[in-house]
Structures are given as structure tokens and as C-alpha cells.
Amino acid sequence: REGFLDTRTRRETESNDMPNWEGIEDATSSPPRIWLSREKDSDPWEPLRKVDCRALNSSSGSTDGKVQIECGRATADLPSRTISYNFFNAPTRSLAAAIWFWKEEKNSKEFTLRPLSEIDDRLVEQFYQKILEASSSLGEGLNAVLKEEVFLEDEEEYKVAIVKSGGTLSLKKRSKKLFGPVFSLQRGYGAYTVEGEEEELALGPVGHLIFVVHGVGEAMWSREGSSVKSLITEIDQTRARVCKKRVGAWKKECEKAKAKNEDLPPAPERIEVLPIEWYNRIHSASSVLKKTLISSTLLSVPKLRAIANDVVFDVLMYLTPEFCEEVLDCVTTQISDLYAKFMTVHPDFVSREGKCSLIGHSLGSVIVWDLLSNLQQNSKNFEGHTGGQGKSDSSSWPFSDFLCGYGLETTDSSPKEQRLGYQAYAKEDNGMNRAEVGTWGPVLPKKMEKVIPFVPEFTIFLGSPLGMFLSLRGASPVFNAMRKRANRVKKDKKVEERRKSDGGSAVSPEFFDMVNKFDEEVTSPFCLPTRALYNIFHPSDPVAYRIEPLLLDPETPDKDLPPPVFLTVGQEGVRLHVKAMELRSSLFKGMSGFLSNIDKAVVAASEIV
């Protein structure tokens, strides 16, 4: 009886002195594993999105061991413990999962968490559970395990021991050597957030897919150590900002609906943005062209020569028909392949009437324009191949009989009627440099049959030199010819309608033309197969050009050219001088338009009389 009381007294004493734990961020009995990734062995491990960690933990028994993560942009291969990207070229990342982490401390406040290997992780977790069992009511007490140690298998030079300091317990990873390093262990990763996860998951499924074609210099920006962000990094940041904007606008709409006791609006669809890379097609280090260029490059001022070889080189090569064809083929193939891959990851995209669009930056805008020119010229091949965006509308492409630059000779012996803009401008015609025949599309050795698999919902050009390229191609005379033909067809139609309304009597076309001359279309009806097109540029961008003046009559005075419109979101962020310029432009435009209409009316009335 006394022995039983003594034992119970000892147990109660140990229970009252139950120690606290240090480094236990997750005290649950079965904590979920945290999945992390890194590109290089020297890089720190970064935790995946929480939703991806849950998906990986719940699919450990899947047949092929492959799990879609990052909203379908990447695939985690559990057997090989790697992450590969589905829609762009990026290095494969290593994958790891752990419950226990060791702290690499920089100072008393800063440290980096590094996961134990999965084998060592299990050993440490078993040791921790043994300690908990020993300290439980049915256990033998902490003293029975305080001197125990666990020898790690993957890190053979280390062992894990329990350390008691006052009333606090902790686990330490220490070297087997007498004076080796000691690291604190932590169970669970602790609270963390991955930028963009909350906003992206708040949105609905993907409803819009945007392909972005890069411009010049991507070969330089993509190099390791470059201070300029690569295309993939920029795309990731753009996608995150777009999601944040859409979620913010949606939350404001929800607040308005709550205030009015209305049903909350559904979450907007997600917008996916994918990069299209073409620079490797002409910057491959193994190509004879690149080797020749490098061997002939002087060693002086290397940074400036690198800009010439990696930036200026892109423009010069694209002006070459053969390499222009190579780039267009590369971009078209990539878009088609990525579109097909996207459909496998998001099989309901077409059934939900998802839309596709294009964005081109710098030289990429010229590439996108040429892709659409090719799509227009191959409209017959495109029929019935609209990429899930409804029936193709060939009526929006009425000028396929105009020259688009395929298979044209580029020598000076070309027939006069086949000269391109840059050829015709080099020859003086009546004292004026002027293109007799031009083209709006690319100059290629042969016609391209391959086209992108959709009609873009919209097309955006950013910092585009397209205006200069179209000027060199002599596109303005072609656009003007379209404008004249459209006006002629329009007037002939009106004359015929007037004749029928007068009972078939003859009507003077000259009279009808005189009365209705102010109804002439001032812009060319030229259009490409895209439902909207925007040319966005910074006013100080030295290589950005306008496009819309090329669609006007070449004789249009500069003062009559419409000014660019400032791109603003509502009135937020509009500087005072911008508002003043907009007000001045609006007043001037309104007054000049009013006076112009009065002048035209007076002239027309005098001619009728």
C-alpha cells in the first residue's frame, strides 16, 4: 500500500512539472507534411502553395504519381520528387516534403528553415512521439528518454538528442563530433503565405487565355545574373497583379450588393497569361550563325557589343525573310502547342466559351501583327478552326486579294508592280519617294500555311515599332487603296439605290458624289482577324510608333490627325498636367470640328445652287 502511494506521488510530481516544448509550431498528433521546392542545391527551400500541399498529401497513392499544381501551370512528379512546368521553358525544380526542419541561424532574429530528408524526418517524428508517450499518464516519465539519441541516416555525421533547459524541452541536431555544430529542430513550418495564392483561388475557373510574345533582347535578359527581369518572371508578376485587381474590384461589388441587400455577384473568371519565347530560334549557341557572329565580335567595350549582338541583332534578323519565317513558324507552333496543352489541363475551357488573346511587346508586336496577317491570308484554311470561340467570321477579312508580301522577290530587278515599300521608296518617282505597291504583312520566301488556332478576342501592342515597319513596307498606299475602293463601292451602291427609288431613271453619279462627299470614309476599312486592337505606348518611348495615321488618307494634314488618348483607369492616378492637356485637346477638337462642319456645309450648298 505504501509502495503504491509512493509511486503515485512520484508520477504526480512529474506531471505537475510537465515541461513546455520549444520549436513545436504544429502540435497536432498527425501534422500534414509541408512540400517545398528549389531550383539549385544552393537555393533555399521555398514552401509550395497551401492548396498544392494539400493536393500532394491527398494524392500520395495516385497511380502515376503526377499532380497538377499552381493552377495547372506545373506538374509535380512524386516518384522523382521534381516539378516541371507545363507551358514554358523553365528549369526543373527539386521537390521535398517534411514535418521536421532544422534552423540555420544567421543571427538571433534571422534564420532559414531547411527540411530534414524524408527518412530522417520519419526517425525524428518517431522519437518525438516516443517522448510524448513517456511523458503521458501511462508513460514511464521523461527521465527514461532524456538520455536517448537518434542517429540520422541521410546525414550520417549528425544525431538528434533531447535537451531539457529548466522546464522547456527541445530537440537538437548536433554533430557526432565533440565540438561540432548544433542546430535547433522545429516541428511544422509555421504560418506562411505565398504571394498571389489567396487572390487567384478566390477567382473562378480560367475564362481568358492570353499569350505574350516578347520583344528584342530577351536572350540578354534571360541570362543568369541579369539585372533585368526575365519574361517568365514578368509574366508571373503580371498574372498576380491582374488577379489582385480583379479580386479587389469584385470585393467592392460585393460590398455594394450587401449595402443594397442584393445577391452577391459571382467571382470573376481567372485570366491566364502565358509567355511565348522565340529568341532561342536565332540565338542558339550551337548555331553556325551565332558562332560566326561571336567570332567576329571585337573584344573592346564588351557590354555595348553584347547589346548589339543580343538586342539590335534581333531586329536585323527579323528583317531577313528567311529568319522572319523561322520566327513566325516558331511562334505559331508554340501558340498551337500550348493551346493544345492548355486544353488538356482545362478540358472545359471551350465548353465554357473561353476566350484567347494576344499581347506583343516591342518587336513582339510586329510578330503578332504578322501572325494575324498570315491568319487573314489563310482564312480559308482557318474555317471551322476557331479554337472554341464560335464560328469564324470570314466577312471581317474582305481584302485577302491585296498583297501580303508572300513569295515576293526582293531584288532590284523585281517588276515595278511587285516592289515592296522599302524598294519603291528608294526609287524617285516624279521627284517624290513614294511606294507604288506595298504590303502590310511580312516578306517571306514562301507562303505560310500554318496558323494560330483561334481568332483573338483582343490584341495589344506595347511599345510597338510597328508603325515604322509598316511605313517601310509601304502599307499606307495599300490602306489608302482599300479606302478608295470601299468609298467607290459605297457610292455605287447609293447611286443604284437612288436609281431604283426614282423608278429606274438615270442619276448623275457626279451629282450624287458631290452631295455625299462628306460621307466618305476617312479611314481605311482594313482590319485583321482580331475583335479589338490596342496600341499602348509611353509618350517618351523613342521606339514606339502610332498605327492609326497610316489608315488615313496620306494627304491628311498633321493638324487633323487625332491625338493619342491617355490610358487611365477612371480618374485615378491622372496627373494635373495630363488633365490639362486632355481638356485643351477636347476644346480644340470640338471647336475645329464645329468650324469644319460649317465650312463643308457652306461649300456643299454653294455647289448645289
Closest Cα partner for 132 from 122, 120, 123, 141? 141
**What's the 3-state SS for 249-267?**
HHHHHHHHHHHCCCCCCCC
Residue at 109 is within a domain = yes
Residue at 230 is within a domain = no
Residue at 505 is within a domain = no
Question: 69 and 194 share a domain?
Answer: no
pLDDT at 437 over 80: no
Measure the CA–CA gap between 455 and 382, rounded to whole angstroms. Answer: 9
pLDDT at 141 over 90: no
pLDDT digit string, tens, across residues 277-328? 998 777 666 667 767 777 787 788 877 887 777 778 888 889 888 889 999 9
Question: 158 and 217 share a domain?
Answer: no
Residue at 47 is within a domain = yes
Measure the CA–CA gap between 217 and 209, rounded to whole angstroms. Answer: 25
Average pLDDT, the chain: 80
Q: What is the full DSSP assignment across 115-142?
A: EPPHHHHHHHHHHHHHHHHHTSTTS--G
Measure the CA–CA gap between 436 and 148, rounded to whole angstroms. Answer: 92
Furthest-apart CA atoms within the chain: distance in Å: 133
CB neighbour class for 460 (10 Å; exposed up to 12, middle 13-18, buried from 19)? buried
Please state which of the ranges 138-142, 341-345, 440-444, 487-491 shows the lowest mean pLDDT.
Answer: 487-491
What is residue 72's three-state secondary structure? helix
Q: How confident is the model at residue 516 (pLDDT cuts 50, 70, 90)?
A: low
Measure the CA–CA gap between 456 and 210, rounded to whole angstroms. Answer: 9
Average pLDDT of span 354-382: 88
Measure the CA–CA gap between 235 and 209, rounded to whole angstroms. Answer: 13
Measure the CA–CA gap between 531 and 460, rounded to whole angstroms. Answer: 11
Measure the CA–CA gap between 495 and 497, rounded to whole angstroms. Answer: 5
Choose one of 63, 98, 133: the last residue of a domain: 98
Question: 138 and 84 share a domain?
Answer: no
Q: How confident is the model at residue 152 (pLDDT cuts 50, 70, 90)?
A: very high
pLDDT digit string, tens, across residues 47-93? 999 999 999 999 865 678 899 999 999 999 999 999 999 998 889 99
**Going by C-beta distance under 8 Å and a sequence separation of 6 or more, which residues neighbour residue 185?**
23, 100, 101, 102, 103, 116, 124, 160, 170, 171, 172, 173
Q: Where are the strands (E) in 39-118, listed by range?
A: 46-47, 66-69, 74-77, 82-85, 93-98, 100-105, 111-115
Q: Which pLDDT score is estimated for 372?
A: 94
Rounded percentage of the chain residues whose pLDDT exceeds 90:
45
Asked whether the beta carbons of 289 and 282 are under 8 A apart, the reply is: yes
Owner of C-alpha cell 500532394: 56
Residue at 6 is within a domain = no
pLDDT digit string, tens, across residues 390-408? 444 433 434 444 444 443 4
Question: 150 and 55 share a domain?
Answer: no
How far the first Cα of the chain sits from its last, in Å, is 133
Edge-first strand order for the sheet with 46-47 is 46-47, 34-38, 93-98, 82-85, 74-77, 66-69
Residue at 535 is within a domain = no
Measure the CA–CA gap between 286 and 290, rounded to whole angstroms. Answer: 7
Question: 418 and 405 share a domain?
Answer: yes
Query: Structural domain tally of the chain?
Result: 4
Domain residues for the domain of 107 are 101-202
CA atoms within 13 A on the CB side of 140: 6
Question: 348 and 393 share a domain?
Answer: yes
Consecutive H or E run containing 594: helix 576-608
Question: 47 and 145 share a domain?
Answer: no
Residue at 92 is within a domain = yes
Asked whether the beta carbons of 249 and 199 are under 8 A apart, the reply is: no
Measure the CA–CA gap between 482 and 400, rounded to whole angstroms. Answer: 11
Q: What is the pTM assigned to this prediction?
A: 0.80
Distances (CA, A) of 421 to 148, 322, 417: 85, 18, 11
Question: 314 and 168 share a domain?
Answer: no
Q: What is the DSSP letter of 33?
A: P
Asked whether the beta carbons of 367 and 328 are under 8 A apart, the reply is: yes
CA atoms within 13 A on the CB side of 413: 0
Closest Cα partner for 150 from 96, 97, 100? 100
Asked whether the beta carbons of 185 and 172 are under 8 A apart, the reply is: yes
pLDDT at 605 over 60: no
Choose one of 418, 448, 477: the last residue of a domain: 477
> CATH code at 56?
3.30.720.50
CA atoms within 13 A on the CB side of 199: 18
Q: How confident is the model at residue 526 (pLDDT cuts 50, 70, 90)?
A: confident
Measure the CA–CA gap between 234 and 293, rounded to whole angstroms. Answer: 29
Q: How confident is the model at residue 369 (pLDDT cuts 50, 70, 90)?
A: very high
Question: 329 and 405 share a domain?
Answer: yes
Consecutive H or E run containing 211: strand 206-213
Question: 184 and 315 share a domain?
Answer: no
Residue at 312 is within a domain = yes
**Going by C-beta distance under 8 Å and a sequence separation of 6 or more, which residues neighbour residue 467?**
545, 546, 547, 549, 550
Positive or negative CA dihedral for 554, 559, 562, 567? positive
pLDDT at 3 over 80: no
Question: 85 and 138 share a domain?
Answer: no
Question: 471 and 570 share a domain?
Answer: no
pLDDT at 119 over 80: yes
Q: Which pLDDT score is estimated for 517?
A: 58
